[in-house]
Amino acid sequence: MRFDFDYTWKLVNIFEFAARADRLMPGPKKPTSPSMYKILDVIHDKSDHGLYRPGVIRLKASGKMIECFELAIDLLLMLTTEQRQIIWSRANNYSYSEIGKMLGIERRKVKRLYLDALFDCETKVKKNKDLLAKVDKIH
Protein backbone atom coordinates (compact mmCIF):
# COMPACT_ATOMS: atom_id res chain seq x y z
CA MET A 1 0.00 0.00 0.00
CA ARG A 2 1.28 3.45 -0.89
CA PHE A 3 1.39 6.03 1.91
CA ASP A 4 0.77 9.71 1.38
CA PHE A 5 3.37 11.53 3.47
CA ASP A 6 1.46 14.82 3.20
CA TYR A 7 -1.49 13.12 4.83
CA THR A 8 0.75 11.64 7.52
CA TRP A 9 2.06 15.12 8.33
CA LYS A 10 -1.54 16.32 8.59
CA LEU A 11 -2.09 13.71 11.28
CA VAL A 12 1.13 14.70 13.05
CA ASN A 13 0.05 18.36 13.05
CA ILE A 14 -3.39 17.43 14.41
CA PHE A 15 -1.83 15.45 17.27
CA GLU A 16 0.60 18.28 18.11
CA PHE A 17 -2.20 20.87 18.00
CA ALA A 18 -4.33 18.65 20.26
CA ALA A 19 -1.46 18.28 22.74
CA ARG A 20 -1.09 22.06 22.83
CA ALA A 21 -4.85 22.38 23.42
CA ASP A 22 -4.63 19.85 26.25
CA ARG A 23 -2.13 22.07 28.04
CA LEU A 24 -4.40 25.12 27.68
CA MET A 25 -7.59 23.47 28.93
CA PRO A 26 -8.54 24.01 32.56
CA GLY A 27 -7.99 21.16 34.96
CA PRO A 28 -10.73 19.44 36.91
CA LYS A 29 -12.19 21.28 39.89
CA LYS A 30 -11.38 19.87 43.32
CA PRO A 31 -14.35 18.07 44.84
CA THR A 32 -13.87 19.91 48.14
CA SER A 33 -14.02 23.41 46.64
CA PRO A 34 -17.38 25.19 46.80
CA SER A 35 -19.25 25.60 43.54
CA MET A 36 -19.79 29.34 43.96
CA TYR A 37 -16.20 30.38 44.69
CA LYS A 38 -15.87 32.19 41.34
CA ILE A 39 -18.72 34.56 42.22
CA LEU A 40 -16.72 35.94 45.13
CA ASP A 41 -13.97 37.27 42.87
CA VAL A 42 -14.28 41.05 42.90
CA ILE A 43 -13.05 42.96 39.89
CA HIS A 44 -11.88 46.46 40.65
CA ASP A 45 -11.67 49.34 38.22
CA LYS A 46 -8.44 51.13 37.30
CA SER A 47 -9.76 54.30 38.91
CA ASP A 48 -10.00 52.63 42.34
CA HIS A 49 -7.10 53.95 44.40
CA GLY A 50 -4.86 51.18 45.70
CA LEU A 51 -7.21 48.37 44.75
CA TYR A 52 -6.41 47.79 41.10
CA ARG A 53 -4.30 44.77 40.31
CA PRO A 54 -3.99 43.83 36.65
CA GLY A 55 -5.27 40.33 36.04
CA VAL A 56 -3.12 37.41 35.09
CA ILE A 57 -3.24 36.63 31.38
CA ARG A 58 -4.89 33.26 31.00
CA LEU A 59 -4.56 31.53 27.67
CA LYS A 60 -7.55 29.38 26.75
CA ALA A 61 -8.05 26.78 24.06
CA SER A 62 -9.89 28.02 20.97
CA GLY A 63 -12.72 26.22 19.21
CA LYS A 64 -10.42 24.82 16.55
CA MET A 65 -8.07 23.50 19.23
CA ILE A 66 -10.93 21.71 20.96
CA GLU A 67 -12.07 20.21 17.63
CA CYS A 68 -8.52 18.94 17.04
CA PHE A 69 -8.45 17.53 20.57
CA GLU A 70 -11.71 15.64 20.03
CA LEU A 71 -10.53 14.33 16.65
CA ALA A 72 -7.22 13.23 18.18
CA ILE A 73 -9.11 11.28 20.85
CA ASP A 74 -11.15 9.54 18.14
CA LEU A 75 -7.98 8.74 16.19
CA LEU A 76 -6.09 7.45 19.22
CA LEU A 77 -8.92 5.14 20.23
CA MET A 78 -8.40 3.17 17.02
CA LEU A 79 -4.81 2.29 18.01
CA THR A 80 -3.26 -0.01 20.61
CA THR A 81 -2.24 1.29 24.02
CA GLU A 82 1.48 1.30 23.21
CA GLN A 83 0.87 3.18 19.95
CA ARG A 84 -1.26 5.74 21.79
CA GLN A 85 1.46 6.31 24.37
CA ILE A 86 4.12 6.76 21.72
CA ILE A 87 2.08 9.12 19.52
CA TRP A 88 0.83 11.25 22.43
CA SER A 89 4.29 11.47 24.00
CA ARG A 90 5.78 12.49 20.67
CA ALA A 91 3.03 15.11 20.23
CA ASN A 92 4.08 16.53 23.61
CA ASN A 93 7.63 16.98 22.27
CA TYR A 94 9.28 14.12 24.12
CA SER A 95 12.37 12.81 22.36
CA TYR A 96 12.60 9.23 21.20
CA SER A 97 15.12 8.39 23.92
CA GLU A 98 12.83 9.80 26.65
CA ILE A 99 9.91 7.77 25.33
CA GLY A 100 12.15 4.72 25.18
CA LYS A 101 13.10 5.18 28.84
CA MET A 102 9.43 5.50 29.82
CA LEU A 103 8.42 2.35 27.93
CA GLY A 104 11.64 0.36 28.30
CA ILE A 105 12.33 0.25 24.55
CA GLU A 106 15.39 1.28 22.55
CA ARG A 107 15.10 4.72 20.91
CA ARG A 108 15.50 3.42 17.34
CA LYS A 109 12.71 0.94 17.91
CA VAL A 110 10.55 3.74 19.36
CA LYS A 111 11.03 5.75 16.17
CA ARG A 112 10.11 2.76 14.03
CA LEU A 113 7.04 2.05 16.20
CA TYR A 114 6.05 5.72 15.96
CA LEU A 115 6.15 5.70 12.18
CA ASP A 116 4.32 2.36 12.07
CA ALA A 117 1.64 3.76 14.37
CA LEU A 118 1.23 6.85 12.15
CA PHE A 119 0.92 4.72 9.02
CA ASP A 120 -1.53 2.41 10.80
CA CYS A 121 -3.60 5.42 11.86
CA GLU A 122 -3.51 6.76 8.30
CA THR A 123 -4.80 3.50 6.82
CA LYS A 124 -7.62 3.31 9.37
CA VAL A 125 -8.60 6.93 8.73
CA LYS A 126 -8.67 6.41 4.97
CA LYS A 127 -11.05 3.47 5.45
CA ASN A 128 -13.42 5.55 7.59
CA LYS A 129 -15.17 8.23 5.50
CA ASP A 130 -16.37 10.25 8.51
CA LEU A 131 -12.89 10.61 10.01
CA LEU A 132 -11.44 11.35 6.60
CA ALA A 133 -13.89 14.24 6.20
CA LYS A 134 -13.09 15.54 9.69
CA VAL A 135 -9.34 15.49 9.05
CA ASP A 136 -9.73 17.29 5.73
CA LYS A 137 -12.08 19.84 7.31
CA ILE A 138 -9.72 20.69 10.17
CA HIS A 139 -6.50 20.77 8.22
**Residue 106: is its pLDDT beyond 70?**
yes
3: CB partners within 8 A, 6+ apart: 119, 122
Reported as type and span, the H/E element at residue 30 is none
pLDDT average, residue stretch 25-36: 73
Closest C-alpha among 20, 28, 10, 15 to residue 61: 20
Please give the pLDDT value at position 44: 61
d(CA 86, CA 90): 6
**Residue 40: is its pLDDT beyond 80?**
no
**Residue 39: is its pLDDT beyond 60?**
no
Half-sphere exposure of 54 (CA within 13 A, CB side): 2
d(CA 117, CA 84): 8
